Amino acid sequence: MDVESLVRPDGGAFRVGLIDPSLCTDIIFGFVNISVDKLILQNVNQQSELAQNELLELKKDRPDLRIILAVGGEEVGDVPFERISTTLSGLSTFAKNVASQLRERGFQGLEVAWVTQFERHRNRITAICKALSEAFIRESEESGQERLLLSLVSLPYGVTPRPTYDPGKLNDYTDRITVLAFNYGILTSPELIHNSPLYPDKLSSSINSQNTSMQWWTLYGFPRKKLILGLPTFGSTVVISTSVTKNTSDSYINRNTGKVGLPGPYTKTSGFLSFYEICDIVQTTGWRQTWRPLWEAPVAFGRRGNKQEWISFENPQSFRKKAQFVKDKEYGGIMVWSLDMDDFNGRFCHDSPYPLLRAAALVLTNNTESHPVTDSSHSVLFATVLSAMWLFLIIDISIVYFLGYKKLRQEQIRISKRFSFQIF
């Protein structure tokens, strides 16, 4: 949930009370900052803390719901993560403080979202995850409560110039990796590339796809069941040079002008539209919508203002296809990015609230209607709640030292047996 979504105009305004917890197993709130001086997590503002408190109240009606806190995001940058990982003692203190903060507030885990493309941070990612996992194990032993969960957000292979992760070592210290499988479109390319294609078409590089991004982790030995496919509830818009009139792949050659589309009336970000904004545009302006089989996703094109635009996005059909992909490939589940950009009240798409989230949930739970996902279910659903907009996620961490490997592996085995599929 983007904090700005709380004050968007008209039907675009989101609030925690609109969340349907029956559709989720986990809700991730992002983001909080790092206080480098105090070596603790720190809220961005009072509004952020109030929203967290509202989220935690959801557990009263849904005790098995897990509320995860995310630290980092694009606006935090590299510096705080670099500084806390400068010394082993400082990193250990930070990890211990984080474990205490999460437990005191009532959160069930932490998601690390350090957004950086620099390969030099590779070892720091591992070190931060290692320190946190060890602190979480110690805190669990001391408190007698279930261990806090540790998740890491990953920019997809194909978007980063060089891998910034060590899959083998991260497997030792994390419960799951969430691959943000979107933002594949390249403005400098003459071809139009989908924001979140499942497979590449003949015009795209093979690395620009969700399938390849997930495969990269497994090729380096990371367990499939700990990999989460991140799906966007937003689309990307570009200005095209001429009107696209053919439903063929050739119609997308040499159309990209390198310019982003106009902002939406609610999200107000150039080159970016929420799913509910896309629904509104397609239904009220007569834009043409087509389906791309290899991408397993739709596109739409038409005129806004004095510009011809092309939108690549997800819809309920593509969410069902990709949820089935996750099941067929035996990955851990999906993450939805994010709740406030789905049609959360059903107003714009003339459907049930959360049509995207609901479509994926029905596939992963093998049901004809949604219901709470329990520990015994064959699918687990997670949703992401954002407090700061970040469209180009990248992560990094480094440094290495060793502690408590056997205990951590035992915890990982217990977690992996508990859930089959997950959706964030």
116 — pLDDT class (breaks 50, 70, 90): confident
The H or E element that residue 68 is part of is: strand 66-72
Dihedrals phi, psi of 19, to nearest 5 degrees: -70, 135
Q: What angle do CA 184, 185, 189 make, to 5 degrees?
A: 125
pTM value is 0.85
Radius of gyration, CA atoms only, the chain: 21
Tokens 């060089």, residue located: 162
List, for residues 46-101, the tens digit of each pLDDT value: 888 999 999 999 999 999 999 999 999 888 889 999 999 999 999 999 999 999 99
Q: Which two tokens stand for residue 410?
A: 């035992």
pLDDT tens track for 300-311: 999 998 889 999
Instruction: Name the residue ranges covered by the structural domains of the chain.
Output: 3-233+315-423
Residue range 390-409: mean pLDDT, rounded? 26
Pick the CATH number of 3-233+315-423 from 3.40.50.2300, 3.10.20.30, 3.20.20.80, 3.40.630.30: 3.20.20.80
Q: How far is CA 86 from CA 72, 121, 189, 316, 324, in A?
A: 17, 12, 39, 45, 43
Degrees (nearest 5) of the Cα angle 75, 79, 80? Answer: 80
Q: Strand pairing partners for 30?
A: 70, 386
Give the integer Cα–Cα distance in Å for 130 and 92: 10
Instruction: Please name the residue that has the structure tokens 């003692």.
Output: 89
